[in-house]
Amino acid sequence: MSLNVLREDIKRQMPRRWRSGDVYAPHDLGSVEASKWKTIQRRPEKDVFDMLGTHPIKHYKNLKMMSEFVTDTGRIKGSRETGLRPRNQRRVAKAVRRAIGIGLMPSVYIHPEIQATKLNISRHGY
């Protein structure tokens, strides 16, 4: 394959980034063009717990770790978001439910220190 053909293939796979001042035609907003610019979300390649060599259920007391697998509304994130393999996803879900059931972890409320670390705010608020 020539270099130009490779460039065109790569260019088609890249997502379209609209910037202010871009000029476009009506057919640019159609479904055919939109399918060319579809973004592909990639999940992590390796399971975090396999890399650490630990069992997720042993970490049910670690609120910082468990809060990474829970959404802001208190729902357990799916394996597409976490990148865990099915077995570890079930174990994490069990650990989160255990922490909530024991009362270590709130089901919806996020502790201010954990929220501050997510927002990169210091402990003193400035």
Q: What are phi and psi of 76, to 5 degrees?
A: -75, 130
Residue 67 Cα to chain centre, angstroms = 13
Reading the chain (126 residues) residue by residue, the pLDDT tens digits are 577 877 777 666 666 676 788 887 777 777 777 776 665 666 667 888 998 999 999 999 998 899 889 988 889 999 988 889 999 999 999 999 999 999 998 887 676 777 777 777 655 555
Query: Residue 30 domain-assigned?
Result: no
98 in a structural domain: yes
CB 108 within 8 A of CB 102: no
- For the entire predicted model, the pTM comes to 0.57
Asked whether residue 63 is assigned to any structural domain, the reply reads yes
Domain count across the chain: 1
CATH of the domain at 67: 4.10.640.10
Which residue range forms the structural domain that includes residue 89? 48-119
